[in-house]
Amino acid sequence: MTSEPKAPGAPAIYLYRQVDRDDAGRATTEYNYIRINILTQEGRNHANIEIPYLKEQAGINISHIRARVIQPDGTIVPFNGQIYDKTIEKTKRVKTLAKTFSIPDVQVGSIVEYHLNYDFSGKYIFNSYWAISDELFTRLAKFSLKPYSESAVRWIWPAGLHPGTDPPKQSSDSIVRLVAKDVPAFLTEDYMPPENDLKYRLLFIYSDRFIETDPVKYWRSFGKKQHDRLESFVGKRKDLEAAVSQIISLSDSPDTKLRKICDRVQLLRNLSYENTKTEQEQKRDKQKKTQHAADVLKNGYGSGTDLTWLFVGLERAVGFGASGVLVSTRNDYFFNDQRMNSNELYSNVALVKVDSKGVYCDPGTAFAPFGRERSQAQLAEARYTLQLPAGWEYKAVWINHPEVTTESVGNNQWQWVLRQIPEIKPEDQMHPWKGEAGIMFVSLIPPAAPLMVL
- Where exactly are the structural domains of the chain? 12-207, 217-445
**What would the DSSP string read from start to end of 160-195?**
---TTPPPPEE-TTS-EEEEEEEEPPPPP-TTPPPH
pLDDT given for residue 453 in this prediction: 39
Question: In tens digits, what is the pLDDT along the chain, a chain of 454 residues?
Answer: 778 999 999 999 999 999 999 988 777 889 999 999 999 999 999 999 999 877 654 567 899 999 999 999 999 999 999 999 888 766 655 667 889 999 999 999 999 999 999 988 766 666 688 999 999 999 999 999 999 888 888 899 988 899 999 999 999 999 999 999 999 999 888 767 778 888 999 999 888 777 888 888 888 888 888 888 899 998 877 889 888 989 999 899 998 999 999 999 999 999 888 766 656 666 666 778 888 999 999 999 999 999 999 999 999 999 888 888 888 776 777 777 888 888 888 788 888 888 877 788 889 888 776 654 444 333 333 333 233 334 434 344 333 333 333 333 333 333 333 333 333 333 333 222 222 333 333 333 333 322 243 5
- SS3 of 35, please? strand
pLDDT given for residue 146 in this prediction: 93
Please tell me the distance from the alpha carbon of residue 79 to that of residue 283, in angstroms, as a whole number.
37
Residues 6+ apart with CB under 8 A from 427: none
- 310 sits in the region (left: phi over 0; alpha: psi -120 to 50; else beta) called alpha
C-alpha pair distances (Å), 196 with each of 9, 140, 192? 25, 21, 11
366-367-369-370 Cα dihedral, nearest 10 degrees: 50
Please tell me the distance from the alpha carbon of residue 71 to that of residue 358, in angstroms, as a whole number.
64
Q: What is the pTM of this model?
A: 0.68
pLDDT given for residue 101 in this prediction: 95
* Fold designation for 217-445: C8orf32 fold (3.10.620)
* Fold designation for 12-207: Immunoglobulin-like (2.60.40)
Phi and psi (nearest 5°) for 13?
-140, 160
pLDDT given for residue 283 in this prediction: 66
